Amino acid sequence: MREAFHHDLAKITDELVEMTRMTSSAITRATTALLDADVHLAESVIEGDRAIDRVRENLDELSFDILARQAPVASDLRTVVTSMRMSMDLERMGDLARHVAKVARLRYPSSAVPPELRATVLQMGQVAERIVAKTGSIIAANDVVAAKELEQDDDEMDALHRHLYASISSGSWSPEQAVDLTLIGRYYERFADHAVSIAARVIYLVTGSYDAIAQEDSDLTDEA
Amino acid sequence: MREAFHHDLAKITDELVEMTRMTSSAITRATTALLDADVHLAESVIEGDRAIDRVRENLDELSFDILARQAPVASDLRTVVTSMRMSMDLERMGDLARHVAKVARLRYPSSAVPPELRATVLQMGQVAERIVAKTGSIIAANDVVAAKELEQDDDEMDALHRHLYASISSGSWSPEQAVDLTLIGRYYERFADHAVSIAARVIYLVTGSYDAIAQEDSDLTDEA
């Protein structure tokens, strides 16, 4: 029983890590699509999101199956339930990458990002990519130290996000540009928030405590 | 065992319905705070969100306990797992009401909503309130018919959302106004999306099928 359980658990971990890979690819390509106004790349991200959803569905079935067949208790039960939540976070991260790609497609052949803000959006994309790559390692290794450090990357994202909003609010953009950039900023920020949630869940699994890391939806108005 | 299980399940349902009540109150007061620039009301929504989070935490503990002590299978297991997801949706709806309240607080003593768009935002608040009230009834009665009808209310929210964005994009707003209104629109839209998710979960529990209702994050760019 225990052996079967640990085999199933390893499978869950593998699939979660695979989801981080797919999500990393999605956000990276979405950022490029946005900055280069590449509609084909945008389409590929939008289409590719279904594959992420399918991995999530399979993972859910596997988890459900484990609960039904093996009736785990204590930390084993906690691990399965928590994995189901991590897969929800990762699926949502895939959705957010798709949203970024949709803005790119909507404004094609123009870019939704004006030249003055390209560097900021590029950096948000890079931080997002780094955060999800780290999330994969954190899940694979149950790495609490790295999980706690992820908050720093999220702080970097928050700083970029604040910079972006300040630039939008103080600049002379058209309302349409302001709408696009506001949504783009929100998508990257939420992407990072979900990664931080996953890190918090790993910390919870290993230490039993949720306090070690903040889980709030980063909120721009907090800083204002 | 079965009797204890059904008692616990009734408790879960009660708490979920209680969360819909709290969330309904939060979004309604947040809308008023936003339109009246009432900073005290905004504060009360922001503070009150903790109470919603606490109900969620208690619900999670109860669900975890049921899984550990009673090891439900088949439809009973499905019910418990699905309830854990509904509570996540409801907690998130509370967060979104808090976000609306925070925009109100940020712009006090001004209102973030210009007079020309008050009626639209008021309607979004009313639709949100109606949707979450219906969600409570749907959960309480496992009402599949009402759950399917909820999509119509969500369509109404999407139409208001599109109208709001079109007004922002074509109007002569300051970038700051455009940012505020874009975020407000997104918060109400996501609020309704989570209610639709809950309705879809009820349909799934009763019919075993997820196909009966669309669950996509409504996306503005789809209509463009």
In the predicted model, is pLDDT for residue A223 greater than 50?
A: no
pLDDT of residue A213: 47
* B194/B201 Cα distance (integer angstroms): 11
* B170/B160 Cα distance (integer angstroms): 15
Share of chain B above pLDDT 70, in %: 93
pLDDT of residue B211: 59
What is the rounded end-to-end Cα distance, in angstroms, of chain B? 54
In the predicted model, is pLDDT for residue A1 greater than 70?
A: no
The reply to whether residue A71 touches residue B74, judged by beta carbons under 8 angstroms, is no
| Closest to A220 (Cα-Cα) out of B89, B182, B111 | B182
Domain total in chain A: 1
Q: Which of A32-46, A206-220, B29-43 has the lowest mean pLDDT?
A: A206-220
> Which residues in chain A have their CB less than 8 angstroms from residue B106's CB?
221, 224
CA dihedral over A134, A28, B95, A91, signed as positive or negative: negative
**Which residues, 6+ apart, have CB-to-CB distance to B67 below 8 Å?**
A67, A77, A81, B77, B80
A95 lies within 8 A of chain B by CB? yes
Find, in chain B, the residue whose alpha carbon is nearest to that of A94.
B217
| Shortest Cα–Cα distance, A179 to chain B (Å) | 6
Contact B27, B125 (CB under 8 A): yes
Tens of pLDDT, residues B36-94: 999 999 999 999 999 999 999 999 999 999 999 999 999 999 999 999 999 999 999 99
Mean pLDDT value of segment A101-127: 97
pLDDT of residue B218: 53
Contact B179, B142 (CB under 8 A): no
Burial of A114 (0-12, 13-18, 19+ CB in 10 A): middle
Model confidence at B216, pLDDT cuts 50, 70, 90, reads: low
A206 lies within 8 A of chain B by CB? no
B77 lies within 8 A of chain A by CB? yes
pLDDT of residue B156: 98
pLDDT of residue B82: 96
The reply to whether residue A217 touches residue B67, judged by beta carbons under 8 angstroms, is no
Please give the mean pLDDT across all residues of chain B: 93
| Shortest Cα–Cα distance, A178 to chain B (Å) | 6
Tens of pLDDT, residues A178-203: 999 999 999 999 999 999 999 999 99
A6 lies within 8 A of chain B by CB? no
pLDDT of residue B172: 87
Model confidence at A102, pLDDT cuts 50, 70, 90, reads: very high
Residue B131 belongs to a domain with what CATH number?
1.20.58.220
B173 lies within 8 A of chain A by CB? yes
B206 lies within 8 A of chain A by CB? no
CA–centroid distance for B126 within its chain: 12
What is the rounded end-to-end Cα distance, in angstroms, of chain A? 54
Tens of pLDDT, residues A25-45: 999 999 999 999 999 999 999
B223 lies within 8 A of chain A by CB? no
When scoring A60, A117, A182 by the number of chain B Cβ atoms within 10 A, the one with the most, hence best to mutate, is A182
> Which residues in chain B have their CB less than 8 angstroms from residue A183's CB?
182, 186, 220
pLDDT of residue B214: 47
In the predicted model, is pLDDT for residue A214 greater than 50?
A: no
User: SS3 string of B161-204?
Assistant: HHHHHHHHHHCCCCHHHHHHHHHHHHHHHHHHHHHHHHHHHHHH
CB-closest option in B81, B175, B183 to A186: B183
Model confidence at A218, pLDDT cuts 50, 70, 90, reads: low
| Shortest Cα–Cα distance, A219 to chain B (Å) | 8
Q: Which domain holds residue B9?
A: 2-223
Tens of pLDDT, residues A131-165: 999 999 999 999 999 999 999 999 999 999 999 99
A182 lies within 8 A of chain B by CB? yes
Please give the mean pLDDT across all residues of chain A: 93
**Which residues, 6+ apart, have CB-to-CB distance to B156 below 8 Å?**
B127
The reply to whether residue B102 touches residue A186, judged by beta carbons under 8 angstroms, is no
**Which residues, 6+ apart, have CB-to-CB distance to A27 below 8 Å?**
A93, A96, A97, A100, A125, A128, A129, A132, A191
When scoring A67, A179, A220 by the number of chain B Cβ atoms within 10 A, the one with the most, hence best to mutate, is A179
The reply to whether residue A168 touches residue B179, judged by beta carbons under 8 angstroms, is yes
Mean pLDDT value of segment B204-223: 63
In the predicted model, is pLDDT for residue B220 greater than 60?
A: no
| Shortest Cα–Cα distance, B183 to chain A (Å) | 7
Mean pLDDT value of segment A159-182: 94
A74: region left, alpha or beta (phi > 0 left; psi from -120 to 50 alpha): left
Alpha-carbon distances, residue A150 vs A154, B48, B154 (angstroms): 6, 29, 36
A39 lies within 8 A of chain B by CB? no
pLDDT of residue A55: 97
Tens of pLDDT, residues B85-112: 999 999 999 999 999 999 999 999 999 9
CB-closest option in A77, A105, A220 to B67: A77
